[in-house]
C-alpha cells in the first residue's frame, strides 16, 4: 500500500487527515510545533510528527520512513508558507512522489467598501506607519520584526496583536516593544461575534490580516469589521494552484467530505418542558437525530434510544468524539433558544473549542410568551428580566429600578429565595405592585397565583417560576442628572456641588453598562448621581477619609444607590486590584494624580477621564499629564458659579470657587 505524508498545520490539513483516519488509511502528518500537535486528536491510522523541516530535513525524514516512487506528499500548509511548498515540491520530484497541493477557497471582497488590499506586508505597514488610531494586527508573531521596524513608535504603542497562545509567540511580541496588555493570545479561527467583541473591547479602528480564506476565519474578520466600521488592511494571498480537500480525498478513494467527520449540532428550544409545546420543527429534529442531549428535566419526556443528561459543550463534544456514528445531535434547552437560554453559552464554548461542524439553532416557546398568553396580556411593551442564575444584591437593585419605571415587568426566577428577595427590594423602595407567579407552566401541576405584598415576602413555593409584576404607579425615568445638593448628607466633608457635578458627569460620556471609578468620593454626590442615571452602570467610589466614608455609606443607603460600591483606602493601593474601567472621575488625588493615571494605564488604553481642579498645584499636575500623553480629545474649561442668597431684604450673588474641568481619553 502506498505511503502518505501530509504537511499540515491548517484546518484543511486536520480535516483531510481526520477523513483518512476514519477511512482506515495509514498516514503521517507533520506539524511545526507541539501546539499544532495538540490541535490534532489522537486517532488510529494517524502518526503525528512535530518539527519544522527544510528541504534536506524532509528528504532525510522521507528516507528514514521508507518513502519511495509512487508514494504521496499532500501539501496542506498555510497559503503564505510559500517556502515550505517550494521545498515540498522539490523533495517530491527527488523521490518521485505524487504531489498534491490543497488550496483554500478565496473570498469575494468586491462588495466590501472598508477593505484595502496590498501586495506585500511591507506595503501595508508603510501605509499605516504613522497611524494614531488603535490597530489590531492578526498576521502572527512572525511578522513582528517587519512591523516594529516599519511603523512609528506611536503607532506601535497603539497596536494590539492577536497571536497563538504560546510562550514563543508572546516573547517575540514583547521583544519588539508590544505592551503585555496589548497581546491577545488566543487560538483561532474566531467567529464573527468574538471578532466584534475584541474590536469593541480595544476600540480598534484598523485591522491587518492575511487573506487566509474561509477555514482561517478570514470571512468572519471581514464581516465583523464591516459591522463595526473598522478598516481592513488585507495582504493579498500569493497565487497558487491546487485542489480542494474533497478532491484530495477522492485521490485515495475516500468519498466522504470533511464535514462527514464532524457531527451536525442542533441547538433547540424545548419550551416549558411539556412535549405538546415542542414546535413541529424541533419534534422532527429529535426524531431524525442520532442522539439527544439536555438536562434531565427537559429530556425526561422525550422518547429516544440515545439520551444523555448533558447540556455543556465540553460534555457533549466528549460524547460525540467517542462515537463516530453520531452524525446529527440535538441539544435541548428550556424555553426559547434565543431568550435567556443556555444555548448562548453553549455556542460561545463551541467557538472556543474550535468546533467547525455545522450548527443550527431552532426556536421554542418562551415562558414569558406562554405566561403572557395565559394572563391574556401582551408583552411587546413589557420589561423582561432574568434572575435565573444571577441572583445578587446588584441584580435585585437593577430589577427594582426597572420595575419602578415600568408598568409591566416579567421576571424569570430560579426559586423562592429570589421571589422573596425581589419582594424585599420592592418594599424597601416603597413600590406597591401586584405580583402574579406562574409555577411549572404548561405542566399538569401548573399554578398561577395572585399574591399580596405580604404573601410574596413569605413565599416558599417550589418549581419553575415566572413572575409578572404590575406597577400601576410607575415613574418616568429621568434622562439627565437631577439630584440637588440638599439631597445629600454633608457634614464637614467637601462635596462636588450641583452645577459642577452635573457638567462633570455629562463630560464622562457614559454608556449603558459602563464601569465607572470615582476617585476621592467625598460625600458620594458624583458616584450616586451617576448610579441614579441607569441601573446597568457599575460605580466604584474610592475614599481614604474615614469621616467621608461614613457619610458615603449613609448617602448610598438613604438615596438607594445599589449600584454604587465603596472602597475605603488610598486609590494607589486599591486600583491595582480592580478591573479596567470605562471612565474615571477624579475629584481628589492627594497629590498623586500621575501615579493614579499610570496605574490605570497598565490596565489598557481607551479610558476616558474627567478631572476637577480648584488649586494651581492640581492644574500643574494635570498639565504635566497632558504634555506627556497628548490626548487628541482634550477639553478644558473653567466654570464659575454664583448663587442668589438672601441678605436681609436684599438678594446678592454669592460666588463659589471657580473650577477647571478637564476631560480626555488616553
Query: CATH code at 160?
Result: 3.40.50.620
- Residue 390 forms part of a structural domain: no
Is residue 442 in a domain? Answer: yes
Considering the domain architecture, whether residues 651 and 506 belong to the same structural domain is answered as: yes
Q: Which of 103-117, 122-136, 243-257 has the highest mean pLDDT?
A: 122-136
- Tell me, yes or no, whether 161 lies in a domain: yes
Query: Are 222 and 292 part of one and the same domain?
Result: no
Largest distance between two CA atoms of the chain: 112
CA 413 to chain centre: 25
227 plus 275 within the same structural domain: no
Q: Are residues 352 and 375 in the same domain?
A: no
Residues 623, 515 share a domain: yes
Looking at the predicted structure, is the pLDDT value of residue 66 above 90?
yes
275-303 pLDDT tens trace: 888 898 999 899 888 899 999 988 988 98
CA distance 523 to 588: 12
* Residues 332, 302 contacting (CB under 8 angstroms): yes
| Residue 244 in domain | no
Range of the domain at 435: 368-382+402-470
Report the CATH number at residue 424.
3.30.950.10
- Check pLDDT > 90 for residue 42: no
Residue that wins the pLDDT comparison between 175 and 103 = 175
Asked if 40 contacts 48 with a C-beta cutoff of 8 angstroms, the reply is yes
Q: Whole-angstrom Cα distance, residue 420 to residue 454?
A: 10
* Sheet architecture: strand order including 465-470: 383-386, 408-413, 465-470, 434-439, 447-451
* Boundary of a domain, candidates 470, 499, 522: 470
The pLDDT score that the predictor gives to residue 320 is 87
Asked whether residue 514 falls in the same domain as residue 651, the answer is yes
264 confidence band (pLDDT: 50, 70, 90)? confident
Query: Residue 285 belongs to a domain with what CATH number?
Result: 3.40.1010.10
Kindly state whether residues 508 and 620 are assigned to the same domain: yes
Do 654 and 509 share a domain, yes or no? yes
Do 569 and 423 fall within a single domain?
no
Within a domain: 363: no
On the question of pLDDT at 494 being above 80, the answer is no
* Structural domain contains residue 561: yes
Which CATH number belongs to the domain containing residue 630 in this structure? 3.40.50.150
DSSP code for 142: G
pTM for this entry? 0.51
Whether residue 34 has pLDDT greater than 60: yes
658 and 536 in a common domain:
yes
pLDDT at position 661, please?
95
Per the structure, the count of domains in the chain is 5
The confidence score (pLDDT) of residue 88 equals: 94
* pLDDT tens readout for residues 380-419: 899 999 998 788 888 898 899 899 999 999 999 989 999 9
What's the confidence (pLDDT) of residue 87? Answer: 94
Q: Mean pLDDT throughout 635-649?
A: 86
Residue 99 cell numbers, joined: 504531489
Does the residue 269 lie in any domain?
yes
**What percentage of the chain reaches a pLDDT higher than 70?**
98
Does residue 423 lie within any of the structural domains? yes
Determine which of 95-109, 427-441, 489-503, 613-627 has the lowest per-residue pLDDT on average: 489-503
Residues 96 and 22 in one domain: yes
Reported confidence tier of residue 256, pLDDT bands at 50, 70, 90: low
656 and 526 in a common domain:
yes
CATH code at position 24: 3.40.50.20
Element (H, E) at 292: strand 291-293
| The pLDDT of residue 214 is above 70 | no
Query: Cell numbers of 168, please?
Result: 514563543
* Per-residue pLDDT tens over the stretch 543-572: 998 888 999 999 998 888 889 999 999 999
pLDDT surpassing 80 at residue 35: no
Q: Region 597-615: what's the mean pLDDT?
A: 93
Q: What is the mean pLDDT of the chain?
A: 89
Q: Would you state the cell numbers that stand for residue 654, as one nine-digit string?
A: 454669592
Instruction: List C-alpha distances in Å: 345 to 351, 559, 660.
Output: 10, 36, 46
> What are the cell numbers at 261?
467527520
Amino acid at each position: 500500500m502506498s505511503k502518505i505524508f501530509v504537511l499540515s498545520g491548517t484546518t484543511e490539513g486536520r480535516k483531510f487527515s481526520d477523513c483518512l483516519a476514519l477511512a482506515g488509511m495509514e498516514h503521517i502528518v507533520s506539524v511545526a510545533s507541539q501546539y499544532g500537535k495538540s490541535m490534532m486528536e489522537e486517532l488510529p491510522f494517524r502518526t503525528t510528527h512535530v518539527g519544522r523541516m527544510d528541504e534536506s530535513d524532509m528528504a532525510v525524514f522521507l528516507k528514514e520512513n521508507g518513502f519511495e516512487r509512487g508514494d504521496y506528499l499532500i501539501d496542506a500548509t498555510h497559503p503564505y508558507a510559500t517556502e515550505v511548498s517550494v521545498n515540498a515540491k522539490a523533495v517530491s520530484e527527488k523521490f518521485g512522489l505524487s504531489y498534491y497541493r490543497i488550496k483554500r477557497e478565496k473570498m469575494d471582497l468586491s462588495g466590501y467598501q472598508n477593505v484595502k488590499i496590498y501586495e506585500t506586508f511591507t506595503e501595508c505597514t508603510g501605509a499605516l506607519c504613522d497611524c494614531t488610531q488603535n490597530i489590531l494586527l492578526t498576521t502572527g508573531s512572525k511578522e513582528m520584526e517587519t512591523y516594529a521596524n516599519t511603523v512609528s513608535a506611536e503607532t506601535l504603542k497603539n497596536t494590539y496583536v492577536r497571536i497563538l497562545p504560546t510562550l514563543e509567540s508572546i516573547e517575540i511580541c514583547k521583544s519588539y516593544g508590544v505592551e503585555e496588555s496589548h497581546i491577545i493570545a488566543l487560538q483561532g479561527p474566531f467567529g464573527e461575534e468574538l471578532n466584534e467583541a475584541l474590536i469593541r473591547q480595544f476600540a480598534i479602528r484598523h485591522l491587518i490580516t492575511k487573506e487566509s480564506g474561509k477555514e482561517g476565519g478570514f470571512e468572519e474578520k471581514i464581516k465583523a469589521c464591516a459591522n463595526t466600521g473598522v478598516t481592513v488592511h488585507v495582504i493579498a494571498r500569493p497565487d497558487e494552484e491546487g485542489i480542494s480537500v474533497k478532491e484530495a480525498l477522492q485521490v485515495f478513494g475516500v468519498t466522504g467530505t470533511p464535514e462527514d467527520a464532524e457531527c451536525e449540532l442542533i441547538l433547540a428550544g424545548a419550551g416549558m418542558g411539556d412535549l405538546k409545546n415542542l414546535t413541529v420543527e424541533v419534534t422532527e429534529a429529535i426524531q431524525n437525530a442520532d442522539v439527544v442531549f439536555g438536562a434531565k428535566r427537559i429530556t425526561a419526556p422525550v422518547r429516544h434510544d440515545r439520551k444523555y443528561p448533558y447540556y455543556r459543550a465540553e460534555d457533549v463534544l466528549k460524547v460525540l468524539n467517542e462515537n463516530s456514528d453520531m452524525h446529527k445531535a440535538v441539544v435541548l434547552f428550556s424555553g426559547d433558544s434565543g431568550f435567556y437560554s443556555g444555548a448562548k453559552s453553549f455556542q460561545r464554548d463551541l467557538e472556543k473549542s474550535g468546533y467547525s461542524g455545522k450548527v443550527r439553532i431552532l426556536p421554542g416557546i418562551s415562558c414569558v410568551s406562554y405566561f403572557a398568553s395565559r394572563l391574556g396580556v401582551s408583552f411587546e411593551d413589557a420589561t423582561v428580566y432574568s434572575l435565573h442564575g444571577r441572583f445578587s444584591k446588584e441584580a435585585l437593585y437593577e430589577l427594582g429600578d426597572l420595575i419602578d419605571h415600568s408598568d409591566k415587568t416579567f421576571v424569570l426566577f430560579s426559586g423562592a429565595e429570589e421571589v422573596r428577595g425581589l419582594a424585599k427590594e420592592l418594599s424597601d423602595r416603597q413600590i406597591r405592585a401586584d405580583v402574579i407567579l406562574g409555577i411549572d407552566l404548561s405542566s399538569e401541576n401548573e399554578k398561577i397565583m395572585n399574591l399580596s405584598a405580604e404573601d410574596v415576602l413569605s413565599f416558599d413555593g417550589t418549581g419553575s417560576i415566572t413572575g409578572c409584576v404590575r406597577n400601576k404607579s410607575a415613574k418616568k425615568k429621568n434622562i439627565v442628572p437631577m439630584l440637588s445638593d440638599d439631597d445629600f448628607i454633608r457634614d464637614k466633608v467637601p462635596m462636588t456641588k450641583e452645577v459642577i457635578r452635573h457638567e462633570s458627569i455629562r463630560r464622562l460620556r457614559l454608556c449603558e453598562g459602563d464601569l465607572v471609578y470615582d476617585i476621592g468620593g467625598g460625600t458620594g454626590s458624583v458616584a450616586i448621581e451617576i448610579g441614579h442615571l441607569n441601573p446597568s452602570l457599575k460605580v466604584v467610589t474610592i475614599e481614604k477619609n474615614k469621616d467621608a466614608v461614613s457619610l458615603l455609606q449613609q448617602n448610598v443607603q438613604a438615596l438607594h444607590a445599589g449600584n454604587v460600591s465603596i472602597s475605603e483606602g488610598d486609590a494607589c493601593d486599591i486600583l491595582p486590584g480592580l478591573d479596567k474601567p470605562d471612565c474615571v472621575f477624579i475629584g481628589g488625588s492627594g497629590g498623586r494624580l500621575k501615579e493614579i493615571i499610570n496605574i490605570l494605564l497598565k490596565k489598557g488604553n481607551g479610558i476616558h477621564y474627567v478631572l476637577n481642579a480648584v488649586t494651581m498645584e492640581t492644574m500643574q499636575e494635570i498639565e504635566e499629564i497632558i504634555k506627556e500623553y497628548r490626548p487628541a480629545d482634550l477639553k478644558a474649561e473653567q466654570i464659575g458659579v454664583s448663587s442668589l442668597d438672601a441678605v436681609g431684604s436684599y438678594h446678592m450673588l454669592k460666588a463659589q470657587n471657580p473650577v477647571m474641568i478637564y476631560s480626555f481619553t488616553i
